[in-house]
Structure 1
Amino acid sequence: MKSSVRFRHAVTVVTLSCFSLSLSLASLGVSASEFSQSYTAYKQAVAEKNNELVLKYAGQAYELGSVQFGPKSLDTANLALNYASALEAQDQKKQANSLYLLALASYQTGYGEDALEVLDPLIGAAQTSSEPKEAKSLFEDAIDISSDAENRILHADTLSAAFATLSKTRLYNRRIRNYALDAYEIYKEELPQDSLTRVKAAYIAGSIHFVEKKNSRAIPLLNEVVQQFSALSYTHPYELKAHAFLVELYEREGESDKSTEHCIAIGSMRPWLDAQEQMPLYRKAPKYPLSYAKRRKSGWAEVSFTVDEFGFVKEPKLLDSKGGSKFSDESIKALKQWRYAPKFVDGSPIAAESTVRIDFTIE
């Protein structure tokens, strides 16, 4: 028998990278031709950030170039990389993967299997592979190559790319988790504190420690994220999530006074709508009454309350319930420990009314 408590609220969050290699017209020895026109149009589309035209002309340049230079030439491999990158950006991963692998074979023949030049097609092929084991193998080759390079940022970028892809697969393990932590340590040594790359890496490392409940490691990393993003004129998703994590971390530590500033920060990040429902940042699950669980008894409680200007729950009152008074009692007891982002009006936090229904079910 399994009992559960379900809340009618949810919050989530999200990340993506790619590598590309451009082709120098000077190396082609081509004058005004159909190919050079397509390639020039491709470069113009890249400059204008017109993704549809980038895809169109990258494809044209690759098809024409493969005829002009031969399917196994490095020039054709360069064009294949450009086209693969454009396809990947449009989420056409299967076709992109074939082109990355084609370019990889040419690069390994032309530069050697351990050359730095093969990193781009290696990582591209790994990121677009539909087979996690193949992606893992390709990333391991890329990491081996980048680890021998003098450029430590390049190695950190490779580790970060491997984590971003492999952490979403069934192969995720401690080694893959360490890719992100090792990348952050390199960025911390090599990049200034306000580097966006370093801040994002700090967020990922902090998130890992948050999930693993390593509070003392997560808190300074997420505070670093908040500190750097606070200088921006807009709200970055990582800043919002870092504040939310810090609310829960400080509540775990029993330091509600420290979580308050993060509740307020979240509340101030966006304009409130009059009918907007408030979402809990920290929830303490109610205890399932043991006597009810033994009897396989289910029910629910709907409670109204005030979220004060510091994000604390005040004056919870039962509106309706089903299944027994113990469900209501446990709901109110738990709600008193929840934390919310306070509602803001004209730039200042105010107390606001909210409601929640808590379901108790036996699965």
Structure 2
Amino acid sequence: MIGKNSYISAVILCGLLTLSPPITASPFSEAYSAYQAAIEQQDSAAAVKYAEQAYLLGKSYFEANSIDVAHLELNWATALQDNNENTLAYDHFNSVIATYRQRFGKDAIELIDPLIGAADTVELSKETKQLFEQAIDIAEDANKPLLLAEVQMLAFNKLASTAYYTRDVRDYAIDALEIYQTELPEDAVARLKATFYVGMVKAAESKTSLAIEYLEEVVKQFAVLDYSHPYKLAAHARLIELYEKKGDSDSSTQHCIAIGSMKPWSETQNQAPLFRLAPRYPISYARDGKEGWTQMSFTVDEQGFVKDPVVIASEGGKLFTKESLKAIKRWRYAPKFVDGQPVAAEATVQLEYSLSP
């Protein structure tokens, strides 16, 4: 598959890599060339237009039921997916699946691309998981470890934050990481991404020490690469939270400083909270049913630390003010950037104290 959503194209030679008969000057070849140019230019709307033309013309250009026509349909489905036309894309991915099963067999490796395409474009449901499971089973039977790991990570990323997240889905990331640890060097981006996700899984499971171990590895490897990556920032941010929960403020501080020294993802990036500690509700106030709020202003310095918090207004009692100031001093931010450099910036926040659920 030639589109940008070609998941496993290095392994599966889908697309029009082996067209027969050879292409000569024709309306079909012109449409297909225009499709390739649209892909190269990342023009998703044009890719849909010319992929459709190539598919429709190809149905006359090639023999009836030709596998080349199925390849053309796969290209069109992928272009539709890239252009967020998921309903139509899903229909064509299913059509390709049926043709490939008939031509290559029900467990053929060629099925992986259209299965993943269908899983990515179908409305999220049990079918989504079933399609990924079929792709994973095929990759496993093919005895191609890296292919299996890639499909497992695609499934994990699609299902991790959904109602279809199960222990099996969790294990996809863990199993993929084990493969990457055997097959890829420590600084391979695919391995680092899997390490990051496993670290986040362990953090969600309150396995703090393991989470720290994995996320520190992500930070360590990205630190020696010649570019920054969003996972590096996210790993630093989660490590701040994990170390703060352990009461290890010194380690948390190091990651705060590291964030302050990173390149921003936007030249005008505003400060963003990374760790927010909820204030303690005064026991005496809770017993008396007191509620209230405290509004504060403060400076977020170049390294993301809260400096000089000042109470602007409050309601409910002095203890709310006291607990608010105590909590805000432990908050951590990614700093504001101006012209690519971290700068101190003012911020305000209001902390609410409510006994209502």
CA distance in 2, matches of 1:276, 1:32: 51
2:296 corresponding residue in structure 1? 303
1:177 corresponding residue in structure 2? 170
**Aligned with 1:259 (options 252, 255, 265):** 252
Report which stretch shifted further, 301-310 or 189-198: 301-310
1:133 corresponding residue in structure 2? 126
Partner deviation per Cα, 1:93-133 (whole Å, 9 max, x = no partner): 11111111000000000010011111111111111111411
> Given that residues 269 and 336 in structure 2 are in contact (C-alpha distance below 8 angstroms), is that contact kept between their aligned partners in structure 1?
no
Segments of structure 1 that go 5 or more residues without pairing to the other structure are 1-15
CA distance in 2, matches of 1:233, 1:40: 36
Closer, same or farther: CA 278–63 of 1 in aligned 2, 3 Å = same
Report which stretch shifted further, 197-206 or 108-117: 197-206
Q: Secondary structure at the match of 1:320?
A: strand
Q: Which amino acid aligns with 1:360?
A: Y
The number of residues matched between the two structures is 347
CA distance in 2, matches of 1:315, 1:30: 71
Closer, same or farther: CA 71–256 of 1 in aligned 2, 3 Å = farther
Percent of paired sites with the same residue: 49
Q: Which amino acid aligns with 2:218?
A: V
Report which stretch shifted further, 294-303 or 240-249: 294-303
Q: Which amino acid aligns with 2:195?
A: A
Q: Report the CA distance between 1:286 and its aligned residue.
A: 1.0
1:247 corresponding residue in structure 2? 240
**Aligned with 1:107 (options 100, 122, 127):** 100
**Aligned with 1:149 (options 130, 139, 142):** 142
Q: Does 1:225 align with 2:218?
A: yes
Q: Report the CA distance between 1:326 and its aligned residue.
A: 2.1
> Given that residues 272 and 345 in structure 1 are in contact (C-alpha distance below 8 angstroms), is that contact kept between their aligned partners in structure 2?
no
Equivalences for 1:19-34 in 2 at 5 Å? 19=7, 21-24=14-17, 26-34=19-27
Q: Relative contact order (alpha carbons < 8 A, sep ≥ 6): 1 or 2 greater?
A: 1
Q: Report the CA distance between 1:43 and its aligned residue.
A: 2.2
CA distance in 1, matches of 2:107, 2:84: 29
Segments of structure 2 that go 5 or more residues without pairing to the other structure are none
Closer, same or farther: CA 276–348 of 1 in aligned 2, 3 Å = closer
Q: Does 1:318 align with 2:311?
A: yes
1:207 corresponding residue in structure 2? 200
> Given that residues 247 and 263 in structure 1 are in contact (C-alpha distance below 8 angstroms), is that contact kept between their aligned partners in structure 2?
yes
1:359 corresponding residue in structure 2? 352
Q: Which amino acid aligns with 2:315?
A: K
Equivalences for 1:188-199 in 2 at 5 Å? 188-199=181-192
Q: Does 1:285 align with 2:278?
A: yes
2:81 corresponding residue in structure 1? 88
> Given that residues 126 and 136 in structure 1 are in contact (C-alpha distance below 8 angstroms), is that contact kept between their aligned partners in structure 2?
yes
Closer, same or farther: CA 105–334 of 1 in aligned 2, 3 Å = same
CA distance in 2, matches of 1:101, 1:26: 22
Partner deviation per Cα, 1:270-316 (whole Å, 9 max, x = no partner): 5799x986443222211223444455443111234455676554554
Q: Report the CA distance between 1:241 and its aligned residue.
A: 1.0
TM-score scaled by length of structure 2:
0.86
Partner deviation per Cα, 1:239-265 (whole Å, 9 max, x = no partner): 111111111111122221112121112
Q: Report the CA distance between 1:67 and its aligned residue.
A: 3.5
Closer, same or farther: CA 314–145 of 1 in aligned 2, 3 Å = same
Report which stretch shifted further, 155-164 or 339-348: 339-348
> Given that residues 270 and 335 in structure 2 are in contact (C-alpha distance below 8 angstroms), is that contact kept between their aligned partners in structure 1?
no
CA distance in 2, matches of 1:272, 1:153: 30
1:61 corresponding residue in structure 2? 54
CA RMSD of aligned residues (A): 3.0
Spell out structure 1 runs of 4+ moving beyond 6 A: 343-352
> Given that residues 307 and 351 in structure 1 are in contact (C-alpha distance below 8 angstroms), is that contact kept between their aligned partners in structure 2?
yes
TM-score scaled by length of structure 1:
0.85
Q: Report the CA distance between 1:172 and its aligned residue.
A: 0.9
Closer, same or farther: CA 146–320 of 1 in aligned 2, 3 Å = same
